[in-house]
């Protein structure tokens, strides 16, 4: 039985993002940054007496850590890294929506996450639509998308 060829594109995917009228872009992690994120995540795991993962023991900077690796602010045509500290000052709903989009863009989400990509917004992990976030609130509690 002949198997169908696997076909990959080496270019990292990008997702335009608008936060309170300002332009940003989520960029798919490369292998090194993905591994850094996964190492950080594994260090946060609580292990049961049976040696199995039993939850996360520390959530501080969990979401902002991933976002600081993948979110860039567009300033005068240049992409500027966004540090964890300003991300932590954003509303939790904004951070959570961006975190889910970043996980899915980099293939870090599970199957359930893929169904709920972009916090309920139309799935836009291929960079063909802008992910719009209204700091402090979002339409009907969900994030919205807008064609670019």
**Interstrand relation of 53-56 and 14-19 (parallel, antiparallel or unpaired):** unpaired
Stretches where the chain sits below pLDDT 70 are: 110-148
Tell me the pLDDT tens digit for each residue of 35-51.
Answer: 999 999 999 999 899 98
Claim: this prediction has a pTM higher than 0.85: no
């Amino acid at each position: 039985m002949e198997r169908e060829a696997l076909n990959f594109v080496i270019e990292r995917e990008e997702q335009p993002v608008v936060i309170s009228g300002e332009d940003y872009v989520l960029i798919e992690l490369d292998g090194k940054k993905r591994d850094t994120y996964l190492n950080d995540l594994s260090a946060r795991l609580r292990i049961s007496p049976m040696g199995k993962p039993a939850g996360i023991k520390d959530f501080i900077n969990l979401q902002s850590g991933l976002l600081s690796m993948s979110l860039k602010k567009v300033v005068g045509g240049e992409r500027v890294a966004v540090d964890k500290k300003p991300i932590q000052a954003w509303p939790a709903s904004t951070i959570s929506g961006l975190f889910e989009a970043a996980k899915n863009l980099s293939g870090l989400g599970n199957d359930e996450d893929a169904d709920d990509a972009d916090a309920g917004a139309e799935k836009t992990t291929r960079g063909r639509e802008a992910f719009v976030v209204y700091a402090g609130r979002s339409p009907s509690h969900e994030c919205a998308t807008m064609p670019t």
